[in-house]
Structure 1
Amino acid sequence: MSSSQDDTASRKSSFYDDKDLEQGFQDSRPMSTATITEPAFTGTANEAHEEPPRTCDDWDGPDDPANPHTWSKSKKIYHSFVPASIAFVCTLASSIYTPGRESVMADFGVSAEVALLPYVLYVLGLACGPLLAAPMSETFGRRAVYMIAIPIFALFILGAGFSQNIASLTVCRFLAGVFGSPGLSIGSATLSDIWQPHERAIPMAIYVTTPFLGPAIGPLVGGYVAWAKGWRWTEWVLLFFTVAGLAPTLGMKETYKSAILKKRAKALGIAPKHPQRTHLQAAKFFLTSTLTRPIHMALVEPVVGLFTLYIAVNFAMLYGFFAAFPYVFETVYGFGIRSTGLTFLGLGVGCVVGCAIIILFSKLVFKPQVQRSKEMGKGGKVPPESRLYIAMIASICLPVSLFWFGWSAQAGVHWIAPVIAEGVFGCGNLLIFMAATLYMMDFYGPMYGASAMGSNNLARYVLGAAFPLFVVQMYERLGIGWATSLLAFISLAMTPIPFVFYVWGPDLRAMSKYQRPT
């Protein structure tokens, strides 16, 4: 990305100016758009003077109807619904399977650990999102990714439902996760194509909540379906959700600027002045920007390394709870498969509350800071550390919620107590994720911030796949109180992270090898 593009991005003052680079943010960078001209003119000199060569390197003015920023509000809402629904479906698919695990054990004669593999491998497949979405989105555009990846996702879900052994079920769900992940990871980039910076707060807050809400709703839906119809119907119902989520893409228009301009140039018969990036150049860029740089930043940059670890552990706990909560509520409260599914509503409510807090923080705290900055002649710029207020509060809520959940369940108090604790955890998890993401975007700028979030995405889904493999055994051996307390102590050890960066963030920026371009 050119320095001029970075400078433009740095002047955006909305709460979500850089949010479009989260999770699938690698895809939001525009391809270089070289000036494109028509073939040499062969007419008279006067004709050539009257009709200069056309170009397709930018919009035809601020009112260009092809520019998504000029679309009507209803059209923008429609195109925002597509990535939100797909993000919801792809994350719903992770946890909707878990209530049917005992049915899988009975059908295929496998242990509880083996029956958990289709869930674990699906989560691992989601880690592939940015690796696939970056080249696909850059080459084909946003709409093509949805239209290519999600139908293949649906086919593998169909295959999972028809599986006759645990191996085919596991492989189908893993590949479903792989092909569902690109549609999940480019959603925020799609919204940044559609909404101007000052319009993004509410759409982005709602969109980012859906990947947290999907896993919370999954056990509720899966519990009733598995109880009534068996585990196969968890896949069939998921297929119904997928069709409902994919159907709106049929009326969707392309939103990616480079793809729109490329299509326009082709329709007008305009050839590029400069050759397109070769496959070798594309491969080199992919290796350095999408793979190597995120890993290097996680190793040498304290902000990236610590926030990646913090968010990854929080996600791992969240996904581990989808295996642990059924054990807790069945053992202590005698809940059945349907009642246990209902308890996950606590996480869902917590996510909704977190979304509301994010919007209120944007309106009541961050925007006034931006306005004061403008009045002081600073161009609306505020220190990145302003993003960390909600993270500092949430970092205290997380260990409190874990201690609350573990010992209230251990003592057998009314079931509403651990359910409320779930809600506090879900809210805190979402707030930390959002604050850390926005902080890293402000800290490093759009280009390096995208790489920082790339390492974060990989780490959180890899750990999210690992935790469910041992969390139930940990609860069985340590007991509910101490097992959850162990997680709470880990969370407590990470509580100082946002406070440390709030105090020493400016010094770390000065020492960073990936300083934001100025």
Structure 2
Amino acid sequence: MSIPSGHSPGNYDPLSPHDGEHIHLSSINDSTKAVRRSTNDAPAINQHKSAELTRTLTAQDWTGPDDPENPRNWPFGKKVFHTIVPALLAFVVSIGSSIYTPAYPLVSKEFGVGTTAALLPFSLYVLGLAFGPIVGASLSETFGRRFVYMLAILIFAFFIMGAGFSPNFGCLVVLRFLAGLFGSPPLTIGAGTNADLWPAETRARTTSFYVLSPFLGPAVGPIVGGYVSVIKGWRWTQWVTLMFTAVGWVPVLFTKETYKNAILHQRAKRLGIAAPPAGPRGLTMGRQMLFTFLMRPAHMLFTEPIVGFLALYISFNLAVLYSFFASLPTVFSGVYGFTAEQSSLVFIALAIGCVLGLITIIVVDTYVYQRMFQAALIDGRHGIVAPEHRLYCAMLGSIGLPVGLFWFAWTARSDIHWICPVIAIVPFSWGNMSIFISSALYIVDTYQARYGASAMAANGILRYIFGAAFPLFTLPMYNKLGIGWATSLLGFIAATLTPVPWVLFRKGSAIRAKSKYETLKA
């Protein structure tokens, strides 16, 4: 998944004096705009009023910082609605990944495949999430966010429906992969929608709310899937996903476009004035997609220490999270004799950890980062704060991961009450959420609008590849090593990666100074 790029608080660039046409607004609202002068100077008043109220009507840029078509100037309630919609879509797509996992034993039995093979429809769905943004993000910058939401989720729904009707295992695998591929754009361009709506200084809060959805979805999916698969069969996991999709897609019909270039093109067409330069299309757009979302991210992954180490860290964390979808039902059914329905309720601990991570991010942003931002304004630094101050939550969360994994490893035993390993999942989930949001904010602040999207694309591709691969060897690893040592192995790796945010906090400024890409100098 990507996070909003940096924008100036007003989202306004100076206008060229020759763009568009001139209109007079005095006739619209003279009473509120009139210049107060002595009544003895009426001619001067009228002349000054006309000059003051003349603004350039243009489709090359906003007509000013108060342009009513700029999404950042929309009423608060309208902005909140347009923030909720992509978050809801991200929740739907992410719940579609994990809702299948409780049903894989039933798929294995119906189609006569092994348990590891039966996890392929889950893993390839996640793999589809890695590569869908390569197309979705560029299409949104050509045709607008709303168009991509409507089209991508509609196609996603058809593939989910096809997966539910699959006559054989191969068909199920292919259709689930295509569903993940076409469902992934909201996980990427939803961050862009947030950037369209909210200024940079509120980025932590809006980003936290948005990111909660694709983390909460996988936690809720097994809970729903566990009950549905037992009562109605594995195909109903796809039908329920389809129902969630309808609930998420209908609100899109009531949204407006938020992408600046698309809004300006609509204005130009409506008023018959010059349109802004069109985005690339055809082969040019294809080359740009490959460069921005594949070639440049790959280059940054191996040449930028900030991108490479954080991508590795976040990817491992997400991979462990996705491994839980395969391992937790096996652990709690084997050790404690839980039914499928009871095992699914264990994932409530993941959801609790996600919510606690969200709270942590908001509290730290309110009482630490925002104070630094205000101090930077007062000191004449234009609100510029060193990106490393985004890493506080990542440093805190880095402790929660190994603690949660080792705790789970050695309490998931028949002689210890089941609540102990369940509680252990909470610090892992809390740490995972805290690290992801904090690191994403750090990356975007570091590489800004120009390279931030490519840096996050590198992160997204690697983490979903890891997330797709890990569940396939999780069950063999647990069978070979046992619960204690298999989970401890993951804990040792997590402990080895713990210094990543701490080192970046101390050395990040020096690393940024040596970057081959333009970074924030603060």
- Cα distance in structure 1, aligned partners of 2:251 and 2:361: 28
- Cα distance in structure 1, aligned partners of 2:440 and 2:261: 25
Matches within 5 A, 1:492-507: 492-507=495-510
Deviations 1:5-33 (A, max 9, x none): xxxxxxxxxxxxx94149xx9xxx99xx9
Q: Is the 8 A contact 1:333 1:412 kept in 2?
A: no
User: Equivalent residue of 2:183, what SS?
Assistant: helix
Tell me what 1:326 maps to: 329
Q: Is the 8 A contact 1:319 1:468 kept in 2?
A: yes
Say if 2:215 is the partner of 1:207.
no
Paired amino acid for 2:288:
F
- Cα distance in structure 1, aligned partners of 2:278 and 2:178: 35
- Cα distance in structure 2, aligned partners of 1:171 and 1:267: 43
- Cα distance in structure 2, aligned partners of 1:207 and 1:314: 19
Paired amino acid for 2:469:
A
Tell me what 2:315 maps to: 312
Tell me what 2:4 maps to: 20
Paired amino acid for 1:20:
P
Q: Is the 8 A contact 1:37 1:272 kept in 2?
A: no
User: Equivalent residue of 1:243, what SS?
Assistant: helix
Paired amino acid for 1:62:
P
Matches within 5 A, 1:252-401: 252-272=255-275, 277=280, 279-401=282-404
1:198, distance to aligned residue in structure 2 (A): 4.0
Tell me what 2:124 maps to: 121
Q: Is the 8 A contact 2:264 2:275 kept in 1?
A: no
Aligned residues, how many? 484
Tell me what 1:105 maps to: 108
TM-score, scaled relative to structure 2: 0.88
Tell me what 2:28 maps to: none
Paired amino acid for 1:448:
Y
- Cα distance in structure 2, aligned partners of 1:272 and 1:252: 23
Q: Is the 8 A contact 2:89 2:249 kept in 1?
A: yes
Q: Is the 8 A contact 2:58 2:274 kept in 1?
A: no
Say if 2:145 is the partner of 1:142.
yes
CA separation of 1:97/1:80 partners in 2, compared to 1, >3 Å: closer, same or farther? same
- Cα distance in structure 2, aligned partners of 1:202 and 1:449: 18
- Cα distance in structure 1, aligned partners of 2:277 and 2:389: 42
Matches within 5 A, 1:2-81: 19-21=3-5, 55-81=58-84
Paired amino acid for 1:468:
P
- Cα distance in structure 2, aligned partners of 1:503 and 1:63: 40
- Cα distance in structure 1, aligned partners of 2:321 and 2:258: 33
Deviations 1:157-212 (A, max 9, x none): 10111111111111111100000001221111111212233444433221111110
User: Equivalent residue of 2:504, what SS?
Assistant: helix
- Cα distance in structure 1, aligned partners of 2:152 and 2:212: 22
Greater Rg over alpha carbons, structure: 2
Q: Is the 8 A contact 1:404 1:421 kept in 2?
A: yes
Tell me what 1:3 maps to: none
Deviations 1:122-149 (A, max 9, x none): 0001001320122210111000001100
When structure 1 is superposed on structure 2, of 69-78 and 311-320 the one drifting more is 69-78
- Cα distance in structure 2, aligned partners of 1:120 and 1:19: 24
Q: Is the 8 A contact 2:261 2:276 kept in 1?
A: no
Give me the CA root mean square deviation: 2.4
TM-score, scaled relative to structure 1: 0.89
- Cα distance in structure 1, aligned partners of 2:204 and 2:438: 13
User: Equivalent residue of 2:412, what SS?
Assistant: helix
Tell me what 1:447 maps to: 450
CA separation of 1:445/1:21 partners in 2, compared to 1, >3 Å: closer, same or farther? closer
Paired amino acid for 1:480:
I
Tell me what 1:416 maps to: 419
Tell me what 1:195 maps to: 198
Say if 2:494 is the partner of 1:510.
no
1:37, distance to aligned residue in structure 2 (A): 5.1
Matching residue within 176, 179, 193 for 1:176: 179
- Cα distance in structure 1, aligned partners of 2:520 and 2:155: 40
CA separation of 1:150/1:36 partners in 2, compared to 1, >3 Å: closer, same or farther? farther
Higher relative contact order structure (alpha carbons within 8 Å, sequence separation ≥ 6) = 1
Q: Is the 8 A contact 2:60 2:275 kept in 1?
A: no
Question: Structure 2 regions of 5+ residues with no counterpart?
Answer: 22-53
Question: Structure 1 regions of 5+ residues with no counterpart?
Answer: 1-17, 39-50
- Cα distance in structure 1, aligned partners of 2:20 and 2:279: 14
